[in-house]
Amino acid sequence: MTSASERRAGLRGLYAVTPGMVDLPRLVALVSAAIEGGASLVQYRAKEVAPASRQRLAESLLALCRDRGVPLIVNDDLALAAAIGADGVHLGRDDGDPRDARARLPDAILGVSCYADAELAVAAAEAGADYVGIGSVFASPTKPGAVRAAPSLLGEARRRAGLPVAAIGGINAANAPVAVAAGADMIAVISALFDAPDVAAAARALSLPFATDAHAHARTQPAAL
């Protein structure tokens, strides 16, 4: 059985979140470019995709990610994550109990959206999460009505939950350093990555704060729970 420390070991860097599309060759090409540019995790997010197409697309991305040595996390769909043997699942507030997800997928990476609430991050850790998502840290084109989370909450959630933190919402190459300096272990990005004319170049720019993150070696790493 995979230990918590093993699951959390690679949770750092650019977390590429896929756009909703059914054009499989195009989606594979975009994700491949993101990985080439430095994405260390990929989340398959397909809220707008019909269930009939969702599994086919997810399986193709899983094969790509396995070939590249990058974990594939399924967004909001525990059944799909289990069906394809994904590396993990990410749950929002309406996507089921994290404890059930941990019981069903004991070796998988489990992420939980905690929005702008450090108390939710603590509860997620107690439920078996491997990382928490905090946001929207900046104004998000994907979720323009999302509640904003101050960058300082990234560090607070990290300290209180003892878990890696993914900053979510409106992140681009210009503000990514702010999120990383505030305590983000990962930056989850859709638009600034996949809407870019050169996805690999955008991934390299978004990954840059992690290569120059001087505080990473000085700050206390999350405790294994």
**Active-site residue (options: 113, 136, 140, 207):** 113
Lowest mean pLDDT among 23-32, 141-150, 197-206, 214-223: 214-223
Residue 147 has pLDDT above 80, yes or no: yes
Cβ atoms of 169 and 140 within 8 Å: the answer is yes
The total number of residues shown for the chain amounts to 225
Lowest mean pLDDT among 52-61, 160-169, 215-224: 215-224
Residue 45: active-site member: yes
DSSP conformation letters of the chain: ---HHHHHTT--EEEEE------HHHHHHHHHHHHHHT--EEEE--TTS-HHHHHHHHHHHHHHHHHHT--EEEES-HHHHHHHT-SEEEE-TTS--HHHHHHHSTTSEEEEEEET-HHHHHHHHHHT-SEEEEE-SS--SSSTTPPP--THHHHHHHHHH-S-EEEESS--TTTHHHHHHHT-SEEEESHHHHTSSSHHHHHHHHHHHHHT-GGGTTSPPPPP-
Peptide bond into 207 cis (omega under 30): no
Residue 214 has pLDDT above 50, yes or no: no
The predicted structure's pLDDT at residue 195: 97
pTM over 0.75: yes
* Residue 24: both structure tokens together: 């499989």
Q: Which residue has the higher pLDDT, 151 or 52?
A: 151
Identify the bridge partners of residue 63 per DSSP, sorted by sequence position: none
- Give the position of tokens 């059944």: 79
Lowest mean pLDDT among 43-57, 156-170, 210-224: 210-224
Give the pLDDT confidence of 55-100 residue by residue, as tens digits: 999 999 999 999 999 999 999 999 999 999 999 999 999 999 999 9
**Active-site residue (options: 68, 102, 104, 143):** 143
The predicted structure's pLDDT at residue 1: 84
The predicted structure's pLDDT at residue 221: 45
CA atoms within 13 A on the CB side of 138: 18
* Residue 169: both structure tokens together: 């919402």
Residue 216 has pLDDT above 90, yes or no: no
Identify the bridge partners of residue 115 per DSSP, sorted by sequence position: 134
CA atoms within 13 A on the CB side of 58: 30
**From CA 139, how far away is CA 143, in angstroms rounded?**
8
**Active-site residue (options: 7, 8, 12, 45):** 45
By DSSP bridging, strand 88-91 and strand 131-135 are unpaired
* Residue 110: both structure tokens together: 């489990």
Residue 194 has pLDDT above 50, yes or no: yes
Residue 152: active-site member: no
The predicted structure's pLDDT at residue 201: 98
pLDDT band for position 144 (50/70/90)?
confident
Residue 225 has pLDDT above 60, yes or no: no
Residue 51 has pLDDT above 90, yes or no: no
Residue 113: active-site member: yes
